[in-house]
Structure 1
Amino acid sequence: MSDLNVLFRKRIGIPEDETITFSTLDRVLEKTAKTFPFENLCNIENKTKDITEESLLQKMLVRNEGGLCYELNSLLYLFLLENGFHVTLVRGDVYKPETGEYQSLGRTHLTILLKHGEQTYLVDTGFGANLPLKPVPLTGETVTSATGQFRVINADTGPGDYRLELKLKHKDKEWRIGYAFDSTRPVSDLGEASEIQSIIARHPDSPFNKSRMVTKLTDRGNVTLTPHSLTRWEDGVVTKESIDEKRFKELLGELFTN
């Protein structure tokens, strides 16, 4: 068993001798989502490194940090590959519901496609608090989890042949687009993750190079930390606390380092 496999299991709390199957993948995804923060701290602090298996291992399994989609899903991809799953990485375009358009950054979302039997599924642990927590089949079938409802449908128009749609629990009354992706263009190697990282870190329209942000799912919802506030969603109720830099550092350690 590789170091990555051992350390990933240790961080999310799964025994080394447990065989991970498709039927137990829900549990793995939920534990992963509640362990690894979605955060941009390295971008803001100008501490990014090329995305490699070793850099991901050091960042998220040795130093116990989190990351953005190109880190979180790359790490999960390597873990699933190590455990015998047929997986590929693909790139997607994130939709902006406030403008009714896809982001100008292009295909900067990195996600995972998993083949099981005769079916292909979307698996994602790098979409902030918008995580299905289960494999979502590319058939239009609705998948329901603790976070809401999710489906992947054929996209006749837009930047890809499929798109993820979601209705988050306590937040969305109607279906909305998460992102579109192209299932016919698998990522060739982790060098493409480094390319995405460069765009996210430098593009003027990137939402992840302006200010520090850390978020993670919890048993009752999610929690988000910025330099000025701590926001909790718990059972559909939102509370917001104003904080200063000292409190930011305290909360970062208390809530997001495990």
Structure 2
Amino acid sequence: MSELNALFRKRIGMPENETITFDTLDRLLDLTALAIPFENLCVTDERTSVISRQSIMEKILIRNEGGLCYELNPMLYFFLLENGFDAHLIRGVVYRHDVGEYYTIGRTHATILLTHEGQTYLLDTGFGSNLPLKPVPLTGETVSSRNGEFRIKKEQTEYGDYVLEMKLRHKDTDWRIGYTFDSQKLVTDETELNEIQTIIADHEQSPFNKSPLLTQLTERGNVTLTNSSFTQWVDGVMTKETIDEERFKKLAKQHFGL
């Protein structure tokens, strides 16, 4: 077993001798979401490094940090390859609900397509608290998890040929767009991940280079931390606390291990 395979299993609490099958991907995705936070501290602290298999492994599995989509999904992708799955990285464009259109700064969302028995599925562990927690088929079929309902619609957009839609549990009453992606444009080189990181870190319209954001699913909901607030969802009930810098550091350590 490779170092990456062993370290990933240790980080999420999955035994080394457990065989990963398509039927156990739900559990794998759930354990990953519970163990590894979505966070942008490397970006806001201006300490990004060149993205590679080794650098991602060191950041997430050795230093036990979290990351953004271009780190979290490649990490899962490498693990899936190690365990015999037919997986590919792709890029997508996230939908901006505040203005009703897709981001125009480029294909900055990295995610995974996996093929099993002739069927293609989307897997995503790098979309903040909007995680399906299950493989989502490209057939349009709705999948349900403790985080809500998710489906993929075949729709030609300016940026791709499919759209991920979601209805988050306790939060959404109607379907809303997550992101669009191009199923034909596979990421074949790590330079593409570095291109995403550069946009996220440097572009004036990037949503992740202004202030800290940490979010993670929990057994009963999710937690989100910024430099000014701490929000918890527990069994559908939200509480929000205004915080200062000292409280931020304490909560980052307590809830995210950072």
TM-score (structure 2 length as normaliser): 0.98
Q: Deviations over 1:159-209 (max 9, x none)?
A: 101010000011111111100000001001222111100000000000000
Q: 1:249 is aligned with what amino acid?
A: K
Tell me what 1:93 maps to: 93
SS in 1 for 2:157: coil
SS at match of 1:156: strand
Gaps of 5+ in 1: none
Aligned residue-pair number:
258
Aligned equivalents of 2:257 and 2:192: distance in 1?
28
CA contact (8 A) 1:147 1:169 kept: yes
- Deviation per residue, 1:198-230 (Å, 9 max, x gap): 000000000000001100000111000111211
- SS at 1:198 equivalent: helix
Contact 1:37/1:66 (<8 A) preserved: yes
Match status 1:189 vs 2:193: no
- Deviation for aligned residue 1:156: 2.7
Which residue of structure 1 aligns with residue 126 of structure 2?
A: 126
1:244 offset after TM fit, Å?
A: 1.5
The equivalent residue for 1:218 is 218
Secondary structure of the corresponding residue to residue 19 of structure 2: coil
Task: Output the amino acid matched with 2:119.
Answer: Q
Q: Distance in 1 between matches of 2:98 and 2:117?
A: 38
Matched, 1:23 2:14: no
Structure 1 Cα separation of the partners of residues 253 and 41 of structure 2? 13
1:245 shift after superposition:
1.2
Distance 2:54 2:76 in 1: 14
Question: 1:97-117: per-residue Cα shift (whole Å, max 9, x none)?
Answer: 221100111210000000000
Where in structure 2 are the equivalents of 1:47-126 lying within 5 Å?
47-126=47-126
Code of the aligned partner of 1:181: F
User: Which residue type is aligned with residue 32 of structure 2?
Assistant: T
Between the aligned partners of 1:172 and 1:160, the Cα distance in structure 2 is 25
Give the partner amino acid of 1:120: T
Contact 1:74 1:190 in 2 (8 A): no
Q: TM-score, normalised by structure 1?
A: 0.98
Aligned to 1:245: 245
Report the counterpart of residue 204 of structure 2 in structure 1.
204
What residue ranges of structure 2 are gaps of 5+ in the alignment? none
Is 1:44–2:44 an aligned residue pair?
Answer: yes
> Alpha carbon RMSD of aligned pairs, Å?
0.9
What is aligned with 1:14? 14
1:19 maps to a residue whose letter is T
Q: Please give the secondary structure, in 2, of the residue aligned with 1:34.
A: helix
**Is the contact between residue 157 and residue 180 of structure 2 (CA under 8 Å) also seen in structure 1?**
no
Structure 1 runs of 4+ aligned residues shifted over 4 Å read: none
